[in-house]
Amino acid sequence: MCRHIAYLGPSVPLGKVLSVPTHGLVRQSWEPRHQRNGTVNADGFGVGWYAEGDPVPGRYRRAGPVWGDETFADLTRVVSTTALLAAVRDATFAGADGEAAAAPFSSGRFLFSHNGAVRGWPGSLAKTAGTLPPERLLSLAARSDSALIWALLLQRTELGDEMAQAVADTVPEVAAAAPGSRLNLLLTDGSTIVGTTWGDSLWYLHEPGLRTVVASEPYDDDPAWREVPDRTLLTATHTDVLLTPLKEHTA
């Protein structure tokens, strides 16, 4: 499993979201409070953020634990943004992909993260993977379930689906092919956050017109945090948060 977080709001240093809060993402890498599977998230980490006037985000990712990376501490102190997506990773399967397997994944204006695991991977998604063009399979960012889910989702956006629709269709498709999977996703384009709950926790903190934070778990004890019910699609902007039940595919 993993922990991840997305933020929209006034320009702030990355660290104000990731490390300064009492139970921020950095602390969650070794002491999560709501993680249902796994205990330590030390198999990689990453953050993606948007610079003013540039719709394509920058990223910083590494294969090791976030707490041992001095460059990350400097980066989060001096870099500011109005939107970010970050994650710490507890790898489901051992692999040699290193930082390539660490979220966030990116393409164009998008940043993406998957908190969970596909049951029966990789065999359970062999048929689903076959729906993708060969060139997309050959260009997977890593040999992981998260990278394949990202490819499936990205394919839908390139065919014209809006963010929320692409996510809402991808999760039940994967769940039907691999029952028992945990599929909590986060996707952002710097102005909207789309997330899902499917087997693990997700919370949001929303101050209309000011900031929206969506995360695996609260980064502090503010009573304004709200938990998202399981099997739910969340779509959030600066002004609104919409929760929609996700429907499972039926045979």
Active site residues: 2
Residue (of 198, 140, 157, 202) closest to 174 by Cα position = 198
Enter the tokens of residue 111: 């940043």
Cα–Cα separations (whole angstroms), residue 212 to 53, 83, 183: 20, 10, 21
Cα–Cα separations (whole angstroms), residue 25 to 85, 86, 120, 214: 11, 8, 28, 12
Strand order in the sheet with 2-13: 58-62, 45-49, 80-89, 2-13, 211-215, 203-207, 226-227
Q: Give dist(CA 199, CA 117) in Å, integer.
A: 10
Residue (of 231, 218, 147) closest to 182 by Cα position = 231
**Residue 24 CB neighbour total at 10 angstroms:** 22
Are 105 and 141 in contact by the 8 Å Cβ rule? The answer is yes
Q: Which amino acid is at 181?
A: S
What are the beta bridge partners of residue 185? 114
Phi, psi of 156 (to 5 degrees): -65, -40
